[in-house]
Structures are given as C-alpha cells and as structure tokens.
Structure 1
Amino acid sequence: MSPPAARRTAGIALPGTDLWMFDESSVLFTYFSGTGEVVDREWRTEPAVVDLVKSAFEAVWERATPHEEYKPV
C-alpha cells in the first residue's frame, strides 16, 4: 500500500502560485487576490526558475497515483 499523497509529496519544492510552463523555456506565473481575482501575471525565462518548475513537475509525476489505481477515500 502506498503512503498517503501528502507524505509522497512533502519533499517536493512546488512553486507557490498558479503557473503555466511553455516549451520548457518559459513560465507564466499568475497571482490572485484573496477573492480569486487575477492581480498580476509574470513571465519568467531565467534557467534557474524554469529548471525549478520543470523538476517540480517531474517529481510530482514520478510520485503520482496512476489513474487506474486511484480510489477515493
């Protein structure tokens, strides 16, 4: 039996806001207000930022539960 999802993901450095990654070369961060309104967007292309997001996605997918194995609690 797999550990709970929170335990599988505790060691992943996840970005703290919503984002989209494009072609593994740029990231668009979206910042929201406390009421859910978009307050800012920010394009980032620095290799360190792109690499952090890419490594987070890879780590999440490595630890993800395959769809066919998912069972709601």
Structure 2
Amino acid sequence: MTRLKVPDFNELLRSAEYSALHLEMRDSYAVGREVEQIAAWREAGYQREIDPESDYWKPWLDLIREVTSKGVAVRRARIYSEPASEYVRFEHSGTQAVVDAGEDVRWLPRSKASGLALPGNDFWLIDDKAVRFNLFTGEGGLADPQYTEDQEVISLCRTSFDQVWNLATPHDQITL
C-alpha cells in the first residue's frame, strides 16, 4: 500500500463529491473528548445529551450538514460484539443526532461479519478515490492515521463496506 501525506480530515470530507463511507470495527475507543461525555451519560442513567448546538455536537453536525447539503451520501457502518460494550451503547445512544444531521448509520453484530474480508483498521472511503485509515492504540486512543489512493486498497475497503452495509440493520431498527 502506498501511503501518502494525510490530509486534514475536515478538508478531506469536504472534498467528497458523492460519497463518504465510514466503517467502525472497535468495541471501545478512548478518545479524550469523549471521557467527560461518557461519565455524564452514566450519571444521567445512560441517557445521552444530544443537543445539536452543544460544544460537543455542533462542529461535527455542522460538517455533516455541510457535506450532505451538496448531495454527498455519508454512510457509517458499525460492527460490534454482543452483548454490546458500554462504549458501543454510549455511541448508540447518541447516533440519532448524526442521523438527524444527514448521516445514514447501520449496525452489524460481529457474529454476522465472520465470513467477510475486512481491512485491519477503521476507515473513511471518499468517492472511491481515497482511504483514510483511523488507527488507535491498544488502549483505544488515537494514533497517527494513514492515507492512500491505492486502487487495490480502495477496492478492498469498498467491497468490505458494501458487504457490511448489506448485512447491517438501520439505526432506527435496532436497540442495544
């Protein structure tokens, strides 16, 4: 795989002309800005604050609205273990906010993904032209991402995403 300089994520997403596909495959992430959100979610009886104007949500939701307003299909598929981890349940409880902003989200139990060839890392596939891999440490923290325009890697990511998407359940039809 040929690795290139990793572009700024927001610029990459804004560059999409017709599709931005995101595949998430971890059961837990330890991204710093979510630590307080998870604690508040626990304290609120596992109810998540999803005010689209909050400091937490506004930047992402504004970006999604901007991109989808150009006609770009933003789709996210999440593979998760059962029973769902606390983190996955936290993510599920806030997903309606991104759906309302224009993302289409589906969920696939890991047990249904056993026959699929999946890349080793979460990724964003932009217009079948570029892949940004999100890498994480063993503890779930962010590591340096990777970026490629290698057509074989793009083909693997597209095929993987499509297979997951076709097996997955739409967000509004699943309870975790």
TM, length-normalised to structure 1: 0.73
Shift of residue 47, structure 1, vs aligned partner = 0.9
* Larger relative helix fraction: 2
Which deviations, in whole Å up to 9, do the C-alpha atoms of 1:22-41 show, x marking residues without a partner?
11111011222233132x22
1:55 to 156, 159, 163: 159
Q: RMSD of the alignment, in Å?
A: 2.1
Q: Which runs of 4+ in 1 moved over 4 A?
A: none
Give the Cα–Cα distance (whole angstroms) in 1 for the partners of residues 127 and 116 of structure 2: 22
Shift of residue 55, structure 1, vs aligned partner = 0.3
Aligned to 1:17: 121
Does the residue aligned with 1:32 lie in a helix, a strand or coil?
Answer: coil
Give the Cα–Cα distance (whole angstroms) in 1 for the partners of residues 171 and 123 of structure 2: 23
Distance 1:34 1:53, change over 3 A: same
Using CA pairs below 8 Å that are at least 6 residues apart, which structure has the higher relative contact order?
A: 2
**1:13-52, aligned counterparts within 5 Å?**
13-35=117-139, 36-38=141-143, 40-52=144-156
Shift of residue 71, structure 1, vs aligned partner = 4.4
TM, length-normalised to structure 2: 0.34
Shift of residue 68, structure 1, vs aligned partner = 4.9
* Larger relative strand fraction: 1
Which deviations, in whole Å up to 9, do the C-alpha atoms of 1:8-54 show, x marking residues without a partner?
2111111121211111111011222233132x221111111000000
Identical positions, percent: 34
Gaps of 5+ in 2: 1-108
Distance 1:37 1:67, change over 3 A: closer
Structure with bigger gyration radius: 2
Does the residue aligned with 2:138 lie in a helix, a strand or coil?
Answer: coil
